[in-house]
Amino acid sequence: MVRCSDGSLYTGIAMDVARRVVEHNTNDVLAAKYTYARRPVMLVYQEKYDTRSAASKREYEIKQLGKKEKLMLIVAELALE
């Protein structure tokens, strides 16, 4: 999950998260339409899964959450670090 410059949160899946964040910030072709208009973006939360299927299912679950619930995920992750 990345936080966009307007404070919104964008959720997606990627094999190489660091590369994907760079693409969102610098590549006009590979950036998502949503993030392209809201640069820069900053990685704020991630989870790892063994399969793309599992990652896609979790992505869907996260996208169904409200902003407050997503922020709670981020805060909980920060507390673990």
Burial environment of residue 20 by CB neighbours within 10 A (0 to 12, 13 to 18, 19 or more): buried
| pLDDT band (50, 70, 90) for residue 78 | confident
Average pLDDT over residues 22-39: 93
pLDDT above 90 for 81:
no
pTM of the predicted structure, to 2 decimals: 0.91
Q: Do strands 2-3 and 42-43 pair parallel, antiparallel, or not at all (unpaired)?
A: antiparallel
The pLDDT value given to residue 80:
85
Domain tally, the chain: 1
| pLDDT band (50, 70, 90) for residue 49 | very high
Domain coverage including residue 10:
2-80
In sequence order, what DSSP letters do the residues of 2-55 get, joined into one string? EE-TTS-EE----SSHHHHHHHHHH-TTTS-HHHHTT---EE------SSHHHH
The pLDDT value given to residue 69:
98
Q: What is the CATH number of the domain that holds 44?
A: 3.40.1440.10
The set of residues, in sequence order, having a beta carbon less than 8 Å from that of 21 and lying 6+ positions away, is: 2, 41, 42, 43
